Amino acid sequence: MNSPTPGSAGQRIFIDKQSPKAYHALVQTSEAVRGVAADAGLDRTLVELVNLRVSQLNGCAYCLDLHTRAALRAGETTRRLGVLAAWRDTELFTPAERAALALAEATTEPSDAAAQEAAYATARDALTDDQISAVIWVAVTINAFNRVSIMSRHPVRADH
């Protein structure tokens, strides 16, 4: 991925390339979070559902593309991916997945205190403390990556 020409109209710098030390620290955090999620017993498909739902809420095309492909590689179905934005209106997700998705949404949009409390209560019934912590860390991390990609305007190319 080439960085746009500095100062060119409409172009943005790729902050991951401009400040590689900061980006590398974020990647290291992501790798640690992936380990935390695995240690907590979270299935890779659930982690990718969280990544995708947060990316949907943030409107991050780059991360949606990346994590859709990762979810499919992990065994997720196109049917469930197709209805993820309306997960509450389906019976396709397990109680643990529903709890994780609600918690991810509350982490992404923390100003809704009532939704945050409801999500946490649901999570308490369906997930362990380690899993709750891992889901929140996954959501925090993908939120950071979303902002990097959105502010850098990372392209989604047809050649993938």
Question: pLDDT tens digits for 73-122?
Answer: 999 999 999 999 999 999 999 999 999 999 999 999 999 899 999 999 99
Domain definitions of the chain by residue range = 20-152
Whether the CB-CB separation of 160 and 67 falls below 8 Å is answered with: no
H/E stretch holding 129 reads helix 129-152
Query: Candidates 1.20.1290.10, 3.40.50.620, 1.10.3470.10, 3.40.50.2300; correct CATH number of 20-152?
Result: 1.20.1290.10
Nearby residues of 129 by Cβ (< 8 Å), 6 or more positions away: none
Residue 160's pLDDT is 55
Integer Cα distance of 97 and 92 in angstroms:
10
pLDDT exceeds cutoff 70 at 7: no
The structure's pTM equals: 0.91
Q: What is the pLDDT of residues 116-156, one digit of tens each?
A: 999 999 999 999 999 999 999 999 999 999 999 999 999 99
